[in-house]
Chains A and B, each alone.
Chain A
Amino acid sequence: MSRPELSGHASIFYNEREARKYNSSSRMVNVQREITLRAIELLLLSPDKASYILDIGCGSGLSGQVLEEKGHIWVGCDVSRDMLQVAHERIDDSFDGNNKNVENDEGSDEVHDPPLSTGDLLHHDMGTGLPFRPATFDACISISALQWLCYSNSASQNPKRRLLRFFSQLYAILKKSARAVLQFYPETAEQAVLISECATAVGFGGGVVVDYPNSTKAKKHYLVLSCDRTSSKQVQQSMPSVEEQTHVSVSAASRKGIDKPIRKKKGIKTKEWIIKKKETQRKRGKSVRPDTKYTARRRPTKF
């Protein structure tokens, strides 16, 4: 399957047709929903409190809908006007009372049905920064969007610059105790390293949680960030407890812990590793191509 990120700008890929298709696929809705629930779990929000949450790359509002159900208040930004339009139509419907949930019992504080609010929407590119005042949000989520920042769509777009600008402004607009959970699909291990290095470079503590690491299809990366300015050590310590907690609720998922330092991701197939592996294979009498200057050289990505 070719990656949509390689097809050009996100607003071109997520055009009107794609935006409608996105929401009418119940498989898609369910997958996004499950990821969002997991991201909310990793945010460690107080369930009794309505939090003010920024949803980056909110798309058609599937992730925002889950936030509403949990009784939170969200603001979404996305680079695709067509996706936002779909989100707007749903929100408009709920104002008109067409929301099928509205009939339900209103007094209940548990279900938040009808939701406390529907999100505010911004047409905005996260790579250009985040247009909010400092210390505004209690939390931030981003579902299946962050990897787009690793690609440049014009000569003036530098992925690293855009990532650094994004993370430093994210750091500024979050409250002191806030967390951010960003689920993303790295194309390569290098992308995951680049992303987490840019996040730590601006002062964030935290790391990457990988759910279902052994499944190509179900594998999910969550960048879990904390802006606790006092001590990043404390964050490191608190992370494993997140794992313990979530293991109980999602016991079927085998996953690597958050306590794994980000750096370890590097060098899965380095030149040294390949040469050593070839050596071992040769010793076992297998036929192996000779080592040349091309050994372990990066190949251009195929489409």
Chain B
Amino acid sequence: MRNNTKEADGKGFPLRITAVEVRVVDNPDATNVGQREIDFVKNMLPVLDWPALVQAASQLGIPTLPPQLTEQLAQDPAFLQALYHILMNVHLVKGMLTCPASGREFPVTDGIVNMMLEEEECERVRV
């Protein structure tokens, strides 16, 4: 799920998700999410690109994220709990990530995304 934060080597973000199989790990009890988890999500908020996350979630079959992240939501424990669940428990098992800029595809199988690049595809470095 945090695949949405992955960038196709500077060439493009966000990656478009084509989901074939998604696994949602049961969230047996929302109160299970403790302060440590809430703090973690708060810490992640500045890292997340919200529109990209909303798009990624809907591509994974979760259309419920609000389009805008308001100050108020960012303080709301119930919202943060739900967000934690989406970030941590929704896994793309099988599918494809596609770079919006180049169309380069990164297949996902068994929950592992293949991002192997050829030397020619990599960022140039002066030695």
Which chain A residues have a beta carbon within 8 Å of chain B's beta carbons? 48-50, 52, 71, 73, 75, 77, 79, 81, 84-85, 88, 91-92, 95, 106, 109, 116-117, 120-125, 128-129, 131-133, 135-136, 138, 154, 156-158, 160-161, 164-165, 168-169
What 4 A-B pairs have minimum CB-CB distances, sorted nearest first? A50-B40, A156-B119, A124-B115, A128-B117
Say which residue of B1, B49, B88, B121 sits within 8 Å of A128 (CB atoms).
B121
B122 adjacent to A122 (CB under 8 Å): no
Q: A112 to nearest B CB, angstroms?
A: 8
Chain A contacts for B76, CB-based, 8 A: none
**Chain A: minimal CB distance from B86 (Å):** 12
For window 1-49 of B, CB contacts with A under 8 Å fall at 1-3, 5-10, 13, 23, 25, 32, 34-37, 39-40, 43-44, 47, 49
- The residue that B114 contacts in the complex, of A49, A123, A154, with Cβ under 8 A, is A123
The answer to whether B125 and A50 have CB atoms under 8 Å apart is no
A49 to chain B: which residues have CB within 8 Å?
A: 36, 39-40, 43
Is A136 a contact of B112 with CB atoms below 8 Å? no
Minimal beta-carbon separation of B60 from chain A (angstroms): 14
Give the distance in Å from the alpha carbon of A235 to the alpha carbon of B98 in the complex.
40
Residues of B within 8 A of A (CB): 1-3, 5-10, 13, 23, 25, 32, 34-37, 39-40, 43-44, 47, 49, 88, 91, 110-117, 119-123, 125, 127
Given A50-B36, A128-B121, A129-B123, A122-B88 contact (CB < 8 Å):
no
Residues on A with C-beta less than 8 A from B36 are 48-50, 71, 109, 116
Q: How far is the CB of A172 from chain B (nearest CB, A)?
A: 9
Provide the residues of chain A in CB contact with B49, threshold 8 Å.
133
- The contact sample of 10 A-B pairs, CB cut-off 8 A, is A73-B40, A79-B116, A88-B110, A120-B3, A121-B111, A122-B6, A123-B112, A128-B119, A132-B5, A161-B125
Q: In the bound complex, what is the Cα–Cα distance between A131 and B3 (angstroms)? A: 10
| Given A116-B37, A128-B119, CB of A136 within 8 Å of CB of B110 | no
A50 pairs with B127, CB closer than 8 A? no
In the complex formed, the residue of A with least CB distance to B33 is A116
| Cβ contacts under 8 Å, B8 to chain A | 131
Q: Please, which residues of chain B bring their CB within 8 A of the CB of A129? A: 9-10, 117, 122-123
Nearest A residue (CB) for B13: A133
Residues in A neighbouring B119, C-beta threshold 8 A? 128, 154, 156-157
Other 19 A-B pairs with CB < 8 A, given A91-B111, A165-B123:
A48-B36, A49-B36, A49-B40, A75-B2, A77-B115, A84-B112, A88-B111, A106-B32, A116-B88, A120-B3, A123-B113, A123-B115, A124-B117, A131-B6, A133-B13, A133-B49, A154-B119, A157-B119, A164-B127
Instruction: List A contacts of B117 (CB < 8 A).
Output: 124-125, 128-129
Please report the C-alpha to C-alpha distance between residue A120 and residue B23 in the assembled complex, in whole angstroms. 13
Contact of B23 among A95, A131, A160 (CB under 8 A): A95
In the complex, chain B residues whose CB is within 8 Å of the CB of A169: 123
Is B23 touching A128 in the complex (CB atoms < 8 A)?
no
Residues of B within 8 A of A164 (CB): 125, 127
Name the CB-closest residue of A to B52.
A133
A106: chain B residues at CB < 8 Å are: 32
Q: How far is the CB of B85 from chain A (nearest CB, A)?
A: 11
Q: Which of B25, B34, B121 contacts A109 (CB 8 A)?
A: B34
A49-B43, A88-B111 known; A120 vs B2 contact (CB < 8 Å): yes
Bound Cα distance from A136 to B44, whole angstroms: 8
Nearest residue, chain A, Cβ from B10: A129
